[in-house]
């Protein structure tokens, strides 16, 4: 049996929203893989995101909408520290519905020092309407969960 070494590379796996966490754990165990932590996929990308959008770590309140199809995670922060998180569902994964939801969230939780930042994947239409008042880092269209803002951070271990 190979020697276990804490210097072995780490890896990340994507479990879609609504995925079976128990099945992931069982599969890992059957391959003698030890899960040291489990976190939402987007949490791994926050360091990369603040590098791409420095205002998120700057002074004053800021907000991020993390889009996974019809699930929207709304994070608010102050000086780079997350102060609140809430999740809302769109009736359908459509850009127009996202725009309406973001308008409501900004009204409920703002004002912010900068426009909200939007990242993610899974909107059916993918086109960002001009009415969306946000800094779009990764257009949330398509079904590809491999958003560059998230994977960059995973690849560099940040």
The strands making up 61-68's β-sheet, listed across from edge to edge, are: 81-89, 71-78, 61-68, 116-121, 134-136
Separation CA 50–CA 127 (nearest Å):
24
Q: Is residue 17 part of a domain?
A: no
Q: Is residue 124 part of a domain?
A: yes
Which candidate, 99, 117, 97, places its Cα nearest to that of 45? 117
Whether residue 152 contacts residue 12, with contact meaning beta carbons closer than 8 Å, is answered with no
Range of the domain at 57: 41-155
Q: What per-residue confidence (pLDDT) applies to 46?
A: 73
Q: What per-residue confidence (pLDDT) applies to 127?
A: 66
Whether residue 64 contacts residue 115, with contact meaning beta carbons closer than 8 Å, is answered with no
Whether residue 93 contacts residue 142, with contact meaning beta carbons closer than 8 Å, is answered with no
Task: Tell me the CATH number at 119.
Answer: 3.30.420.40
Q: Is residue 16 part of a domain?
A: no
Q: What per-residue confidence (pLDDT) applies to 34?
A: 77
Q: Is residue 31 part of a domain?
A: no
Q: Looking at the 3D structure of the chain, how many domains does it have? A: 1
Q: What per-residue confidence (pLDDT) applies to 152?
A: 43
Q: Is residue 1 part of a domain?
A: no
Separation CA 111–CA 86 (nearest Å):
17
* Average pLDDT, 10 consecutive residues per value, the chain (158 residues): 50 60 84 76 70 81 88 89 91 91 92 86 73 68 48 42
- Note the pTM of the prediction, 2 decimals: 0.70
Q: Is residue 105 part of a domain?
A: yes
User: Contacts by 134-142 with C-beta closer than 8 Å and gap 24+?
Assistant: 134/65, 134/102, 135/53, 135/55, 137/49, 137/52, 137/53, 140/67, 140/95, 140/98, 141/95
The helix or strand, by DSSP H or E, that contains position 96, with its residue range, turns out to be helix 95-109
Q: Is residue 13 part of a domain?
A: no
75-117 pLDDT, tens digit per residue, is: 998 887 889 999 999 999 888 899 999 999 999 998 988 888 8
Q: What per-residue confidence (pLDDT) applies to 14?
A: 56
The helix or strand, by DSSP H or E, that contains position 64, with its residue range, turns out to be strand 61-68
């Amino acid at each position: 049996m190979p020697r276990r070494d804490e210097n072995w590379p780490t890896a990340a796996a994507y479990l879609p929203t609504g995925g079976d966490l128990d099945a992931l754990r069982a599969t890992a165990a059957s391959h003698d893989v030890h899960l040291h932590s489990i976190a939402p996929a987007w949490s791994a990308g926050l360091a990369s995101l603040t590098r791409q959008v420095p205002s998120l770590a700057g002074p004053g309140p800021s907000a991020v909408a993390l889009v996974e199809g019809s699930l929207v995670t709304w994070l608010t922060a102050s000086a780079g520290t997350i102060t609140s998180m809430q999740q809302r569902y769109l009736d359908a994964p459509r850009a127009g519905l996202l725009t309406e939801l973001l308008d409501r969230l900004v009204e409920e939780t703002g004002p912010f020092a900068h426009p909200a930042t939007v990242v993610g994947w899974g909107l059916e239409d993918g086109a960002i309407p001009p009415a969306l008042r946000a800094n779009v880092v990764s257009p949330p269209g398509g079904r590809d969960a491999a958003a560059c803002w998230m994977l960059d951070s995973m690849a560099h271990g940040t």
